[in-house]
Structure 1
Amino acid sequence: MTTETAKPAAAAKPAGEGTEERRPRSVRVVLLALMIAMLLAMLDNMIIGTAMPTIVGELGGLEHLSWVVTAYTLATAASTPIWGKLGDMYGRKGVFLTAIVIFLIGSALSGMAQDMGQLIGFRTVQGLGAGGLMVGVMAIIGDLIPPRERGRYQGMMAGVMALAMIGGPLVGGTITDHWGWRWSFYINLPLGAVALAMVTAVLHLPKKERDRSTRIDFLGAALLTVGITAIVLVTTWGGTEYAWGSATVIGLSVAGVAALAAFLWAETRASDPVVPLHIFRSRNFTLMSVIGFLTGFVMFGAVLFLPLFQQSVQGASATNSGLLLLPMLLAMMVVSLVSGRITTNSGKYKIFPIIGTALMVIGLFLLAQMDTGTSRLTSGVYMAVLGAGMGFLMQITMLVAQNSVEMKDMGVASSATTLFRTLGSSFGVAIMGALFTSRVQDEMAAHGGSELTRQSAQLDAASLAKLPAALREAYQDAVASGTHSAFLVGAAVAVTGFVLAFLVKEVALRGAGPEPKAAPEDARKTVETV
């Protein structure tokens, strides 16, 4: 079986000399390029969110505002499994470079948009590339680094995620204020060019010969795209643009279920399916996909409501909203790094999903107890507990999923796991958001302030400051009540993950782990195969 490899960055030394030093250095150079690409995909929406008021002020089209984000999200989610399959069929490097180029083209065009319609269209192009970036990074890492060794690099990936969530709003605000909103897109170009150059120069992969008898599963790809699109639109529009019981939401739900059912039928008959269903025969892969879905559900719900609570109830500034999540993100990064090291040294991992889901349940339950009297220190401790739980899960779910499939299915396994987490985030935001909105509006109606929250349950700082003291206090109580309901639901969802974690089977991770110093002949093989 051919394994894609990264050549050592330095000139080869005689076998047996400096083998251990050369190998990590070459991998780290490749990982640096991959992390830049991953940062591009994760940072984009964080930056654009801050710039949106300015964009609307210049381009108009306020009624289409949500589509600037929705178009990107849809394109990313729908293209994710297709990028993974293309990488399996044609080789990682070429497909990954193509995704970077498409993302950069979409970024440049978005920066040049002259009206809201153009911006939405160009954001779709950008989203298509972003889908390939995330999957490409995960699949290449899966090919280059054996699961047993991958834990030592987990901290890098968790760090990139924390950097995107904390730095995104800050960078977006600074760029918009000083350079203009168009540079919120143009900033991707130099970063993307660096990633493109580094991947081209450093990542040397053998050309993959495709079996000419196989055909691209166009029917499966089309049905999956329709199904994912319908599901994301339901979770995005339900309770906001349209009522949950509206014909539009019900119609999309039926269409999504029908498309996915047809997709499953088509995949059983395709000669080379876009998502081979046999990967779900692995108990660990299926469990990690579901736990990844639940982690996405909880994480993005927390990212949505924690800043809202701290701004509305605790009086924090919206400008530094990313910094409000620092306790959660730092805990997540540190725990991910430590658990990764332990996995590398011991080869054991089953305990981590159990501990992670347990901490998520505890953290969410604690967050559900917050009220108008909760201090920032106390809420920070609660967030750290939740972050620690997610730290045990964020990378381990991908690691175990990739370890559960053959190397030839690494791309589709990575894309399927990523897709489940993405869909989980969509459902989490939708369901927790619906509960929050309903609770806030009910509480405000009881205090005679229903008109204030009839259009939106979230009031900005300016609107909140203008309210009479009695109504302001009522709104703060309502927000505390709404977050209580949302986090309790999140805790209930996390309990499901806790139960499933006990079903994970401890299967030996591929890769040798810590070894004694290699003999000259063994060292030569190590360098050649990474």
Structure 2
Amino acid sequence: MSASTTPAGTAAAGPMSHRQTLQALSGLLLVLFVAMLSATVVSTALPTIIGSLNGSQTQYTWVVTATLLTATAATPIWGKLADLFSKKLLIQVAIGVFVVGSVLAGFSQSAGQLIASRAFQGVGVGGLQALVQVAIAAMIPPRERGRYNGYLGGVMAVATVGGPLLGGLIVDTSWLGWRWCFFVGVPVAAIALVLLQFTLKLQTVRRDTVRIDYLGATLIAAGVSLLLIWVSFVGGSFPWLSWPTAAMVTGSVVLLALAVRVEVHAAEPIVPLPVLRARNTALAIVASLAVGMAMFGGAVFLGQYFQVGRGYSPTQAGLLTVPMMAGVLLTSIVAGRMITASGRVKPYIVTGTVVLVAGFAVLATIDHRTPLWFVGAGMFLVGAGVGLAMQNLVLAVQNSVSLSDIGAASSAVAFFRSLGGTIGVSVLGAVLARRVADQISRDLAAAGIPAAGSGGGGSSLNLDVLPDAVQQIVRAAYGDATGHIFLLSAVIAVVGVLAAAALRPVTLRDSLDLNDRGAATAVGAHALHCAPAIDQVGPLAGQEPAGRR
């Protein structure tokens, strides 16, 4: 796997032309598209899917959470492997895992099977999301990367707009059915696999000895998974102050503490701690955590709001999410061009986090009667904030580390963003479920309808089996409760604003690696502590020394 002709830390043989870069990006962008499509295609279809499987609100949340959980746990492992082995081969392996998970999800016969299949699919999704960023960083210098971030933003927008629309059309088409929401990604992934084979030419680093930190990877995955499982069930299955809470939180803290100890002494740590201790890297990670928590946690419930809370069809719900994706597309393209021209990234990150807070603040006021134009304005602001902040946070981190650590650093940002998204979906989903249940019980009692005889059965999302009067109560409950979780999203996103504001201004470098412009030796992870050595790289003037705080 590690066969190569170049030593660790060297740069590519020569700069790629714009045409060569676009050819290499074609397969990578399609990979990113299929990874994002796997999440967005089910967003509008999920109420129908869970209803047909007679699932509950908790299972609705877990169909999303399971994918995020495994993707989060697997991301740092994929990223570190990318620093050790062939990035191209790893991307192809991740595609294979994704395809198997997609097929299993499509054949699911119960909500439990669907959740398990989505968890397996998440391992592949985590690899795709992390490795695409790593591969792009290995091809394109940070300053030029701003230009190509516009293409990434376009793919994100198409996947996020086209996904809900496609999902809505699939479930609204009788001869297809919701299972094709999972099958549809298989041929796209196959095309991406072929494109990558012929277009992606990346240098593979040869190392005399390769040591994979299996113990660290296991401890990180176990600690994060245990924490996320606790977040998903606390307040519903058991109280906040209870022995399951004590056991899970204590176990998670112990596992993660052991992981840190192992990472400190490991020869090839999964998460190199010196990289994470650099000021801008640490702040970008904090901002990514907050942005991910707010964005995933809030946006995942928009499809449910339009369908369950407002009564629109899946296709209509997909169309109604277009303003948010338009915001992502517009700002990512414009900001990418401006960043390439100026080399400055902090102003766009700060602006993006502020706009994200403003968008969630607008959505925090909605209920089941809010005019659609007002909801659309809030979604546009959220999309604009995401387009300005998300990719540029990754760019800020990649600019601060050497090429030999690009996989670990990039995956660290993706890891914490996914971690934030998982926590956000779990916490906000639990809050939504609790508020909906309380409001439905209260409104049923006020209407003189006994809860036991309301016809809801085990699932309030299967509206077709409910009497008309109960349907109206359920829709109002979901429509009114959604605004509350957007308020929580706005509060969480404020943390991202504070972290972004604390970033040190940097000028993006024009070289692929920190040492490409005359440094005598490669700058490794441990050299991040050595600020004077980095300062001697003259052409990097204006860039923050990675180890200086």
Q: Normalising by structure 2, report the TM-score.
A: 0.80
Note the C-alpha offset of 1:246. Answer: 5.4
Q: Does the Cα contact within 8 Å between 1:81 and 1:412 map onto a contact in 2?
A: yes
Deviation readout 1:355-403 (Å, 9 max, x if unpaired): 1122122222222222454211122112212222222111111110111
Name the amino acid aligned to 1:295. Answer: V
**For 1:394, what is the secondary structure of its paired residue?**
helix
1:40 aligns with 2:19: no
Q: What CA distance in whole angstroms lies between the structure 2 residues aligned with 1:338 and 1:466?
A: 48
Q: Does the Cα contact within 8 Å between 2:168 and 2:313 map onto a contact in 1?
A: no
Deviation readout 1:453-489 (Å, 9 max, x if unpaired): 9998964554677116xx93x6566445423332222
Deviation readout 1:18-68 (Å, 9 max, x if unpaired): xxxxx1111111111101111222212343563786699699999988766
1:419 aligns with 2:407: no
Note the C-alpha offset of 1:446. Answer: 4.2
- Change in CA separation of 1:353 and 1:206 when aligned onto 2, cut-off 3 Å: closer
1:130 aligns with 2:143: no
**1:203 equivalent in structure 2:** 200
1:353 aligns with 2:349: yes
**1:87 equivalent in structure 2:** 82
Name the amino acid aligned to 2:11. Answer: T
**2:21 equivalent in structure 1:** 27
**2:529 equivalent in structure 1:** none
**2:391 equivalent in structure 1:** 395
- Change in CA separation of 1:281 and 1:224 when aligned onto 2, cut-off 3 Å: same
Note the C-alpha offset of 1:118. Answer: 7.0
RMSD of aligned alpha carbons: 3.5
**Which of 313, 317, 322 lines up with 2:318 in the alignment?**
322
Q: What CA distance in whole angstroms lies between the structure 2 residues aligned with 1:491 and 1:59?
A: 32
**1:3 equivalent in structure 2:** 11
Q: What CA distance in whole angstroms lies between the structure 1 residues aligned with 2:474 and 2:109?
A: 39
**1:193 equivalent in structure 2:** 190
Q: Does the Cα contact within 8 Å between 1:288 and 1:400 map onto a contact in 2?
A: yes
Note the C-alpha offset of 1:330. Answer: 0.6
**1:510 equivalent in structure 2:** 509
- Change in CA separation of 1:310 and 1:188 when aligned onto 2, cut-off 3 Å: closer
Note the C-alpha offset of 1:421. Answer: 0.8
Name the amino acid aligned to 2:272. Answer: P
Mean alpha-carbon deviation: is it higher for 157-166 or for 89-98?
A: 157-166
1:496 aligns with 2:495: yes
- Change in CA separation of 1:426 and 1:72 when aligned onto 2, cut-off 3 Å: closer
Unpaired stretches in structure 1, ≥5 consecutive residues: 9-22, 514-530
Q: Does the Cα contact within 8 Å between 1:165 and 1:322 map onto a contact in 2?
A: no
Alignment of 1:206-221 (within 5 A): 206-212=203-209, 214-221=210-217
Note the C-alpha offset of 1:243. Answer: 4.9
Q: Does the Cα contact within 8 Å between 2:294 and 2:493 map onto a contact in 1?
A: yes
**2:523 equivalent in structure 1:** none
Mean alpha-carbon deviation: is it higher for 318-327 or for 305-314?
A: 305-314
Note the C-alpha offset of 1:327. Answer: 0.8
**1:382 equivalent in structure 2:** 378
**For 1:29, what is the secondary structure of its paired residue?**
helix
Mean alpha-carbon deviation: is it higher for 447-456 or for 187-196?
A: 447-456
Q: What CA distance in whole angstroms lies between the structure 1 residues aligned with 2:55 and 2:441?
A: 33
Note the C-alpha offset of 1:311. Answer: 3.6
1:299 aligns with 2:259: no
Deviation readout 1:226-248 (Å, 9 max, x if unpaired): 01211232233334555545544
Q: Normalising by structure 1, report the TM-score.
A: 0.83
Deviation readout 1:99-121 (Å, 9 max, x if unpaired): 22332344445556788887666
Percent of aligned pairs with the same amino acid = 37
Q: What CA distance in whole angstroms lies between the structure 1 residues aligned with 2:106 and 2:474?
A: 38
Q: Does the Cα contact within 8 Å between 2:50 and 2:56 map onto a contact in 1?
A: no
- Change in CA separation of 1:5 and 1:138 when aligned onto 2, cut-off 3 Å: farther
**2:166 equivalent in structure 1:** 171
- Change in CA separation of 1:443 and 1:231 when aligned onto 2, cut-off 3 Å: same
Note the C-alpha offset of 1:139. Answer: 0.3
Q: Does the Cα contact within 8 Å between 1:7 and 1:26 map onto a contact in 2?
A: no
Q: What CA distance in whole angstroms lies between the structure 2 residues aligned with 1:483 and 1:56?
A: 19
**1:484 equivalent in structure 2:** 483
- Change in CA separation of 1:351 and 1:465 when aligned onto 2, cut-off 3 Å: farther
Deviation readout 1:265-307 (Å, 9 max, x if unpaired): 1111112111100111211111111111111111122213333
Name the amino acid aligned to 1:96. Answer: I
Q: What CA distance in whole angstroms lies between the structure 1 residues aligned with 2:511 and 2:109?
A: 55
Mean alpha-carbon deviation: is it higher for 312-321 or for 78-87?
A: 312-321
Name the amino acid aligned to 1:420. Answer: F
**For 1:374, what is the secondary structure of its paired residue?**
coil
Deviation readout 1:67-105 (Å, 9 max, x if unpaired): 665554333222111110011011312222222233234
**1:467 equivalent in structure 2:** 469
Alignment of 1:177-326 (within 5 A): 177-179=174-176, 183-212=180-209, 214-240=210-236, 243-245=239-241, 247-326=243-322
**1:332 equivalent in structure 2:** 328
- Change in CA separation of 1:458 and 1:412 when aligned onto 2, cut-off 3 Å: farther
Mean alpha-carbon deviation: is it higher for 287-296 or for 224-233?
A: 224-233
Q: Does the Cα contact within 8 Å between 2:455 and 2:467 map onto a contact in 1?
A: no
Q: What CA distance in whole angstroms lies between the structure 2 residues aligned with 1:80 and 1:32?
A: 22
**For 2:205, what is the secondary structure of its paired residue?**
coil
- Change in CA separation of 1:167 and 1:58 when aligned onto 2, cut-off 3 Å: same
- Change in CA separation of 1:123 and 1:311 when aligned onto 2, cut-off 3 Å: closer
Mean alpha-carbon deviation: is it higher for 353-362 or for 332-341?
A: 353-362
Unpaired stretches in structure 2, ≥5 consecutive residues: 1-8, 513-549
- Change in CA separation of 1:117 and 1:490 when aligned onto 2, cut-off 3 Å: closer
Mean alpha-carbon deviation: is it higher for 333-342 or for 195-204?
A: 195-204
Note the C-alpha offset of 1:440. Answer: 3.6
Q: Does the Cα contact within 8 Å between 1:360 and 1:389 map onto a contact in 2?
A: yes
Q: What CA distance in whole angstroms lies between the structure 1 residues aligned with 2:55 and 2:465?
A: 22
**1:528 equivalent in structure 2:** none
- Change in CA separation of 1:310 and 1:207 when aligned onto 2, cut-off 3 Å: closer
Mean alpha-carbon deviation: is it higher for 446-455 or for 278-287?
A: 446-455
**1:76 equivalent in structure 2:** 71
Q: What CA distance in whole angstroms lies between the structure 2 residues aligned with 1:327 and 1:239?
A: 34
Note the C-alpha offset of 1:490. Answer: 1.8
**1:521 equivalent in structure 2:** none
